[in-house]
């Protein structure tokens, strides 16, 4: 039994959800999101909650159960509150600057890195060493943050690079004489 899957997803006021032709559509104050539902689970809207149950008693259906419920929960949370990831840049001369639908990164390369911001995401740079990525789709926000971090991962000796806020970088000691 899935402990997460058993809990129904509450639909807050101001959010509407409907299921049509194997697709769950959720509309809220921040926007609209939709997700295709697996044939292995059944989704039902009962009052002000969405419940997810396995379609049959196979191991595969039970393994999809909790994940499908979490994806439904992410849709509801995305259209109500949205998601935000914050990246911190550490290093001398390393900086970022948001310019409309592009972000310009200076990460110690011989050239600046210009990255296009995907549609539906909002990127802000409150200062030169902080990047705030926000949007309603949790997967899209996390993927874009990972792509920015990939340009210069934090290294273990000085900690220079792009890291998530709150991420711990395991530090190593340098050479000894």
Taking only the tens place, the pLDDT of each residue in 81-101 is 999 999 999 999 999 999 989
- Closest by CA to 26, choosing from 41, 44, 11, 46, is 11
* pLDDT number for residue 176: 86
Domain 83-164 CATH superfamily: Ribosomal protein L6 (3.90.930.12)
Query: Residue 135's pLDDT is what?
Result: 95
User: CATH number of the domain at 3-80, please?
Assistant: 3.90.930.12
Of the candidates 72, 42, 61, 46, the residue with the CA atom closest to the CA atom of residue 1: 61
Write down the pLDDT at residue 5. 85
Enumerate the domain spans of the chain.
3-80, 83-164
Q: What is the pLDDT of residue 4?
A: 87
112, HSE (Cβ side, Cα atoms, 13 Å): 11
Domains 3-80 and 83-164 fall in the same CATH topology: yes
Measured CA to CA, the distance from residue 172 to residue 160 in angstroms comes to 13
pLDDT of residue 47: 87
Give every residue of the chain whose pLDDT is below 70, as ranges: 1
The size of the chain, in residues, is 177
Q: Where are the beta strands (DSSP E) in the chain?
A: 9-10, 16-20, 23-28, 31-36, 41-46, 49-54, 83-90, 95-99, 102-106, 113-116, 121-124, 130-135, 161-164
Q: How far apart are CA 115 and CA 118, in angstroms?
A: 9
């Amino acid at each position: 039994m899935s402990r997460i899957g058993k809990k129904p997803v509450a639909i807050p006021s101001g959010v509407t959800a409907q299921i049509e032709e194997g697709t769950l559509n959720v509309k809220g104050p921040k926007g609209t999101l939709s997700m295709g539902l697996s044939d292995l689970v059944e989704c039902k809207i009962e009052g002000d909650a969405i419940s997810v149950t396995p379609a049959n008693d196979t191991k595969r259906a039970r393994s999809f159960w909790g994940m499908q419920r979490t994806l439904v929960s992410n849709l509801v949370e995305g259209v109500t509150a949205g998601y935000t990831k914050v990246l911190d840049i550490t290093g001398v001369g390393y900086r970022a600057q948001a310019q409309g639908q592009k972000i310009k990164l200076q990460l110690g390369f011989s050239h600046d890195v210009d990255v296009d911001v995907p549609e539906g995401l909002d990127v802000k740079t409150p200062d030169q060493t902080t990047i705030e990525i926000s949007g309603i789709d949790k997967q899209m926000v996390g993927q874009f943050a990972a792509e920015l971090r990939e340009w210069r991962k934090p290294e273990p000796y000085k900690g220079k690079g792009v890291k998530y806020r709150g991420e711990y970088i395991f530090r190593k000691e340098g050479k000894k004489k």
